[in-house]
Amino acid sequence: MEIILKKDVANLGYTDEIVNVKTGYAVNYLIPQGYAILATPSAKKVLAENLRQRTHKEAKLVADAEALAAKLAATPVTVAVKVSESGKIYGSVTTADVAAALAEAGVQVDKKDITIDSVKELGEYDATVKCYKGVKGTVKVTVVAE
């Protein structure tokens, strides 16, 4: 079944994309939750017109995302955590911790857009931040003892 996405859906597509999904997934989840609408011929025409009007705005959004990615690369952050005598940290460093450290550094990023590998020890790690469609930034995260 062809649908038009109204919101970004993980592992499926971005807003205003036309995708094919199974009928049950569309009818029982995507459409009732407001994530999608049916891709009727009239809905496709409306989508085409909206996309045509939005193309110049898209260039500005990509430029802003690239500027954010450059700012992230130039902004290393430090996260202080409690550690045991052996150097292992209690718990782990999460995306919320990285988002809070970035907010203190003056960069507002949603924690859902941050990806970081499992952090269980002190050291330096790379966190990937999704800035916009296809634009990702990398930030250096240093984990130190409190």
Instruction: At 22, list the tokens.
Output: 């199974």
Measured CA to CA, the distance from residue 29 to residue 132 in angstroms comes to 25
* Whether residues 81 and 124 fall in one domain: yes
* Whether residues 74 and 16 fall in one domain: no
What letter does residue 32 receive in the DSSP assignment?
T
Instruction: At 70, list the tokens.
Output: 């450059």
Task: Identify the pLDDT of residue 3.
Answer: 96
Q: For residue 21, what pLDDT band results from cuts at 50, 70 and 90?
A: very high
What's the domain range around 81?
69-145
Strand order in the sheet with 36-38: 18-20, 2-5, 36-38
* Whether residues 9 and 48 fall in one domain: yes
Task: Identify the pLDDT of residue 71.
Answer: 92
pTM of the predicted model over 0.95: no
Measured CA to CA, the distance from residue 132 to residue 113 in angstroms comes to 9
Choose one of 10, 37, 64: the last residue of a domain. 64
* Whether residues 116 and 57 fall in one domain: no
* Whether residues 58 and 11 fall in one domain: yes
Reported as type and span, the H/E element at residue 135 is strand 135-145
Q: Which residue has the higher pLDDT, 87 or 20?
A: 20
Task: Identify the pLDDT of residue 133.
Answer: 84
* Whether residues 18 and 83 fall in one domain: no
The CATH number that applies at residue 119 is 3.10.430.100
Please give the backbone phi and psi of residue 8, each rounded to the nearest 5 degrees, phi first. Answer: -65, 135
* Whether residues 52 and 77 fall in one domain: no
The overall average pLDDT reported for the chain is 92
CA atoms within 13 A on the CB side of 144: 8
Give the pLDDT confidence of 57-102 residue by residue, as tens digits.
888 889 999 999 999 999 999 999 999 888 788 888 999 999 999 9
Please give the backbone phi and psi of residue 10, each rounded to the nearest 5 degrees, phi first. Answer: -60, 135
* Whether residues 97 and 119 fall in one domain: yes
Measured CA to CA, the distance from residue 33 to residue 17 in angstroms comes to 17
Choose one of 49, 64, 79: the last residue of a domain. 64
* Whether residues 60 and 74 fall in one domain: no
Measured CA to CA, the distance from residue 50 to residue 37 in angstroms comes to 15
Task: Identify the pLDDT of residue 80.
Answer: 92
Choose one of 11, 38, 64: the last residue of a domain. 64
In the chain, how many domains are there? 2
Give the pLDDT confidence of 108-125 residue by residue, as tens digits.
999 999 999 888 888 999
* Whether residues 43 and 81 fall in one domain: no
